[in-house]
Protein backbone atom coordinates (compact mmCIF):
# COMPACT_ATOMS: atom_id res chain seq x y z
CA UNK A 1 0.00 0.00 0.00
CA UNK A 2 1.30 3.45 -0.93
CA UNK A 3 0.00 5.84 1.77
CA UNK A 4 1.53 9.05 0.39
CA UNK A 5 3.83 9.92 -2.53
CA UNK A 6 6.91 9.36 -0.33
CA UNK A 7 5.69 6.57 1.95
CA UNK A 8 5.61 2.96 0.80
CA UNK A 9 4.10 0.71 3.44
CA UNK A 10 3.02 -2.91 3.26
CA UNK A 11 0.94 -3.36 6.41
CA UNK A 12 -1.77 -6.06 6.30
CA UNK A 13 -2.79 -5.64 9.96
CA UNK A 14 -2.08 -1.91 10.36
CA UNK A 15 0.80 -1.81 12.84
CA UNK A 16 3.40 -0.94 10.24
CA UNK A 17 1.19 1.84 8.91
CA UNK A 18 1.16 3.46 12.36
CA UNK A 19 4.96 3.28 12.50
CA UNK A 20 5.23 4.71 8.99
CA UNK A 21 3.03 7.68 9.85
CA UNK A 22 5.04 8.38 13.01
CA UNK A 23 8.31 8.31 11.06
CA UNK A 24 6.80 10.61 8.45
CA UNK A 25 5.66 13.01 11.18
CA UNK A 26 9.15 13.11 12.69
CA UNK A 27 10.80 13.52 9.31
CA UNK A 28 8.83 16.67 8.59
CA UNK A 29 8.97 18.57 5.33
CA UNK A 30 12.25 20.43 5.66
CA UNK A 31 14.81 17.81 4.68
CA UNK A 32 15.61 19.14 1.24
CA UNK A 33 15.44 16.33 -1.29
CA UNK A 34 12.38 14.37 -0.25
CA UNK A 35 13.28 10.97 1.17
CA UNK A 36 11.12 7.93 0.68
CA UNK A 37 9.99 5.82 3.62
CA UNK A 38 9.69 2.05 3.27
CA UNK A 39 8.02 -0.03 5.99
CA UNK A 40 7.40 -3.78 5.81
CA UNK A 41 6.55 -6.55 8.29
CA UNK A 42 8.85 -9.45 9.09
CA UNK A 43 7.59 -12.91 8.15
CA UNK A 44 9.79 -15.66 9.54
CA UNK A 45 12.81 -13.37 9.65
CA UNK A 46 12.39 -12.27 6.02
CA UNK A 47 10.92 -9.47 3.97
CA UNK A 48 7.63 -10.84 2.57
CA UNK A 49 7.50 -11.64 -1.12
CA UNK A 50 4.16 -9.83 -1.22
CA UNK A 51 5.90 -6.62 -0.17
CA UNK A 52 8.48 -7.08 -2.89
CA UNK A 53 5.68 -7.52 -5.37
CA UNK A 54 3.83 -4.45 -4.07
CA UNK A 55 6.94 -2.27 -4.44
CA UNK A 56 8.31 -3.98 -7.52
CA UNK A 57 7.61 -1.04 -9.84
CA UNK A 58 9.02 1.60 -7.48
CA UNK A 59 12.32 3.03 -8.71
CA UNK A 60 14.41 6.09 -7.92
CA UNK A 61 16.73 8.29 -9.92
CA UNK A 62 19.61 10.31 -8.58
CA UNK A 63 20.36 8.25 -5.45
CA UNK A 64 17.16 9.26 -3.67
CA UNK A 65 17.53 8.91 0.14
CA UNK A 66 15.37 6.26 1.80
CA UNK A 67 14.40 5.70 5.43
CA UNK A 68 13.68 2.04 6.14
CA UNK A 69 11.84 0.22 8.90
CA UNK A 70 10.72 -3.31 9.56
CA UNK A 71 8.08 -4.26 12.11
CA UNK A 72 8.11 -7.58 13.93
CA UNK A 73 6.19 -9.40 16.64
CA UNK A 74 8.72 -9.17 19.50
CA UNK A 75 10.66 -12.31 18.58
CA UNK A 76 13.33 -11.23 16.08
CA UNK A 77 13.69 -9.35 12.83
CA UNK A 78 16.73 -11.40 11.73
CA UNK A 79 17.75 -10.60 8.14
CA UNK A 80 14.59 -8.77 7.07
CA UNK A 81 16.00 -5.25 7.47
CA UNK A 82 19.14 -6.07 5.49
CA UNK A 83 16.95 -7.67 2.83
CA UNK A 84 14.79 -4.53 2.62
CA UNK A 85 17.93 -2.37 2.30
CA UNK A 86 19.22 -4.53 -0.53
CA UNK A 87 15.83 -4.44 -2.24
CA UNK A 88 15.57 -0.62 -2.25
CA UNK A 89 19.24 -0.19 -3.18
CA UNK A 90 18.72 -2.32 -6.26
CA UNK A 91 15.97 0.12 -7.26
CA UNK A 92 18.13 3.21 -7.03
CA UNK A 93 17.42 4.30 -3.45
CA UNK A 94 20.06 5.22 -0.90
CA UNK A 95 19.22 3.78 2.56
CA UNK A 96 20.41 6.52 4.93
CA UNK A 97 18.56 5.26 8.01
CA UNK A 98 17.13 1.92 9.07
CA UNK A 99 15.16 0.77 12.09
CA UNK A 100 13.20 -2.09 13.61
CA UNK A 101 10.03 -1.64 15.63
CA UNK A 102 7.76 -4.03 17.51
CA UNK A 103 4.10 -4.43 16.55
CA UNK A 104 1.48 -6.84 17.81
CA UNK A 105 2.17 -10.26 16.36
CA UNK A 106 -0.31 -11.47 13.77
CA UNK A 107 -0.87 -14.60 15.87
CA UNK A 108 -1.53 -12.68 19.08
CA UNK A 109 -4.86 -13.40 20.79
CA UNK A 110 -6.31 -12.64 24.20
CA UNK A 111 -5.34 -16.16 25.29
CA UNK A 112 -1.86 -16.04 23.75
CA UNK A 113 -0.77 -12.39 23.68
CA UNK A 114 2.37 -11.54 21.73
CA UNK A 115 3.28 -7.84 21.89
CA UNK A 116 -0.41 -7.08 22.34
CA UNK A 117 -1.37 -3.46 21.74
CA UNK A 118 1.89 -2.47 20.11
CA UNK A 119 2.90 -0.13 18.67
CA UNK A 120 1.86 1.83 21.74
CA UNK A 121 2.44 5.49 22.54
CA UNK A 122 6.04 4.82 23.55
CA UNK A 123 6.74 3.00 20.28
CA UNK A 124 5.19 5.76 18.19
CA UNK A 125 7.17 8.41 20.05
CA UNK A 126 10.35 6.45 19.29
CA UNK A 127 9.40 6.10 15.62
CA UNK A 128 8.82 9.84 15.42
CA UNK A 129 12.22 10.46 17.01
CA UNK A 130 13.82 8.09 14.50
CA UNK A 131 12.22 10.09 11.70
CA UNK A 132 13.42 13.37 13.22
CA UNK A 133 17.01 12.12 13.46
CA UNK A 134 16.90 10.79 9.92
CA UNK A 135 15.62 14.17 8.73
CA UNK A 136 18.43 15.98 10.53
CA UNK A 137 20.98 13.72 8.88
CA UNK A 138 19.56 14.36 5.42
CA UNK A 139 19.20 18.10 6.03
CA UNK A 140 22.87 18.26 7.06
CA UNK A 141 23.78 16.83 3.66
CA UNK A 142 24.96 13.53 5.12
CA UNK A 143 23.73 10.95 2.64
CA UNK A 144 26.12 8.23 3.76
CA UNK A 145 24.27 4.92 3.39
CA UNK A 146 23.89 2.69 6.42
CA UNK A 147 24.74 -1.00 6.54
CA UNK A 148 21.42 -2.36 7.76
CA UNK A 149 23.05 -5.69 8.57
CA UNK A 150 24.94 -3.93 11.38
CA UNK A 151 21.69 -3.48 13.31
CA UNK A 152 21.28 -6.58 15.44
CA UNK A 153 18.27 -8.03 17.21
CA UNK A 154 17.85 -7.31 20.89
CA UNK A 155 18.78 -10.65 22.51
CA UNK A 156 16.08 -12.80 24.05
CA UNK A 157 16.79 -15.03 27.06
CA UNK A 158 18.78 -18.06 25.89
CA UNK A 159 16.39 -20.49 27.58
CA UNK A 160 13.43 -18.94 25.76
CA UNK A 161 15.14 -19.18 22.41
CA UNK A 162 16.13 -22.80 23.04
CA UNK A 163 12.58 -23.76 24.01
CA UNK A 164 11.16 -22.08 20.94
CA UNK A 165 13.68 -23.69 18.61
CA UNK A 166 12.91 -27.09 20.13
CA UNK A 167 9.25 -26.48 19.32
CA UNK A 168 10.13 -25.48 15.75
CA UNK A 169 12.15 -28.66 15.25
CA UNK A 170 9.32 -30.81 16.60
CA UNK A 171 6.77 -28.98 14.44
CA UNK A 172 8.86 -29.53 11.31
CA UNK A 173 9.18 -33.22 12.12
CA UNK A 174 5.41 -33.51 12.54
CA UNK A 175 4.80 -31.66 9.29
CA UNK A 176 7.25 -33.91 7.50
CA UNK A 177 5.45 -37.01 8.77
CA UNK A 178 1.91 -35.68 8.38
CA UNK A 179 1.67 -32.32 6.55
CA UNK A 180 -1.18 -30.07 7.65
CA UNK A 181 -2.16 -26.62 6.42
CA UNK A 182 -3.06 -24.17 9.18
CA UNK A 183 -5.51 -21.59 7.84
CA UNK A 184 -7.92 -18.99 9.21
CA UNK A 185 -11.36 -20.44 9.89
CA UNK A 186 -14.68 -18.65 9.49
CA UNK A 187 -17.48 -18.80 12.05
CA UNK A 188 -20.40 -18.55 9.63
CA UNK A 189 -22.81 -17.75 12.44
CA UNK A 190 -20.91 -14.55 13.15
CA UNK A 191 -20.19 -13.61 9.55
CA UNK A 192 -22.31 -10.73 8.25
CA UNK A 193 -21.11 -11.15 4.67
CA UNK A 194 -19.73 -7.59 4.60
CA UNK A 195 -16.76 -8.59 2.44
CA UNK A 196 -14.17 -6.57 4.36
CA UNK A 197 -11.96 -9.65 4.64
CA UNK A 198 -11.84 -9.98 0.86
CA UNK A 199 -10.85 -6.34 0.54
CA UNK A 200 -8.06 -6.42 3.14
CA UNK A 201 -6.46 -9.75 2.23
CA UNK A 202 -3.16 -8.76 0.55
CA UNK A 203 -2.78 -12.18 -1.04
CA UNK A 204 -6.33 -12.38 -2.49
CA UNK A 205 -6.56 -15.73 -0.70
CA UNK A 206 -10.23 -15.41 0.29
CA UNK A 207 -12.69 -16.53 -2.35
CA UNK A 208 -16.11 -14.98 -2.97
CA UNK A 209 -17.73 -17.79 -0.96
CA UNK A 210 -15.32 -16.97 1.95
CA UNK A 211 -13.33 -20.17 1.56
CA UNK A 212 -9.53 -19.94 1.73
CA UNK A 213 -7.14 -20.65 -1.11
CA UNK A 214 -4.38 -22.43 0.83
CA UNK A 215 -1.87 -21.88 -1.99
CA UNK A 216 -2.20 -18.10 -1.56
CA UNK A 217 -2.72 -17.59 2.19
CA UNK A 218 0.36 -16.23 4.00
CA UNK A 219 -1.23 -16.30 7.48
CA UNK A 220 -0.90 -12.53 7.90
CA UNK A 221 -4.22 -12.54 9.80
CA UNK A 222 -5.52 -9.37 8.18
CA UNK A 223 -8.90 -11.10 7.93
CA UNK A 224 -8.80 -11.97 11.63
CA UNK A 225 -7.69 -8.56 12.88
CA UNK A 226 -9.97 -6.46 10.67
CA UNK A 227 -13.23 -8.43 10.68
CA UNK A 228 -15.80 -6.22 12.47
CA UNK A 229 -17.81 -9.29 13.46
CA UNK A 230 -14.80 -11.24 14.80
CA UNK A 231 -15.88 -14.08 12.56
CA UNK A 232 -12.41 -15.18 11.48
CA UNK A 233 -10.24 -17.25 13.82
CA UNK A 234 -6.69 -18.45 13.31
CA UNK A 235 -5.36 -21.02 15.76
CA UNK A 236 -1.68 -21.07 14.91
CA UNK A 237 0.39 -23.72 16.69
CA UNK A 238 3.08 -21.06 17.01
CA UNK A 239 0.94 -18.68 19.05
CA UNK A 240 1.45 -20.27 22.47
CA UNK A 241 5.22 -20.87 22.22
CA UNK A 242 5.66 -17.32 20.95
CA UNK A 243 3.57 -15.94 23.80
CA UNK A 244 5.32 -18.03 26.44
CA UNK A 245 8.88 -17.39 25.28
CA UNK A 246 8.86 -13.83 23.94
CA UNK A 247 6.85 -11.84 26.45
CA UNK A 248 9.70 -9.55 27.55
CA UNK A 249 9.26 -6.15 25.92
CA UNK A 250 11.77 -5.40 23.19
CA UNK A 251 12.65 -1.83 22.29
CA UNK A 252 12.86 0.02 18.98
CA UNK A 253 16.32 -0.01 17.40
CA UNK A 254 17.83 1.96 14.56
CA UNK A 255 21.00 2.87 12.76
CA UNK A 256 21.82 6.23 11.16
Burial of 103-129, coded b for 16+ CB within 10 Å and e otherwise, reads bbbbbbbeebbbbeebbeeebbebbbe
Residues found in the chain: 256
| CB neighbour class for 79 (10 Å; exposed up to 12, middle 13-18, buried from 19) | middle
pLDDT per position in the chain (256 positions), as tens?
Answer: 544 558 999 999 999 999 999 999 999 875 556 789 999 999 999 999 999 999 989 998 777 899 999 999 999 999 999 999 999 999 999 999 999 999 999 999 999 999 999 999 999 999 999 999 999 999 999 999 999 999 999 999 999 999 999 999 999 999 999 999 899 999 999 999 999 999 999 999 999 999 999 999 999 999 999 999 999 999 999 999 999 999 999 999 999 9
Paired with 65 in beta bridges are 94
Q: Measured over all CA atoms, what is the biggest interatomic distance in the chain, rounded to whole angstroms? A: 59
**Residues 50 and 20: beta-carbon distance below 8 Å:** no
Identify which of 9, 59, 44 has the alpha carbon closest to the alpha carbon of residue 202: 9
Domains in the chain, start-ordered, CATH in brackets? Answer: 2-155+249-255 (3.40.50.360), 160-245 (no CATH)
> Each residue of 86-98: pLDDT tens digit?
999 999 999 999 9
Please state the pTM of the whole predicted model. 0.93
Beta bridge partners of 7: 4, 37
CB atoms within 10 A of CB 226: 16
- Print burial letters for 180-219: b (CB count within 10 Å at least 16), e (below 16): eeebbebeeeeeeeeebbeebbbbebbeeebebeeeebbb
Find out whether 123 and 250 touch, Cβ atoms under 8 Å: no
pLDDT at 2: 47
Q: d(Cα 148, Cα 83) in Å, to the nearest integer? A: 9
Amino acid sequence: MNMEPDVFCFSPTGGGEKIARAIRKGLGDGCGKSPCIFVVPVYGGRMPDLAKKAFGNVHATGNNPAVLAVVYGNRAFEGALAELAEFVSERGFNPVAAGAFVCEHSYSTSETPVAAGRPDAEDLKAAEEFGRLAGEKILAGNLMPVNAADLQDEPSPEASVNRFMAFVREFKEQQSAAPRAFLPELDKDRCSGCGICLAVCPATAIRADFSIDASRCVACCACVKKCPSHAWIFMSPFARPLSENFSLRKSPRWIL
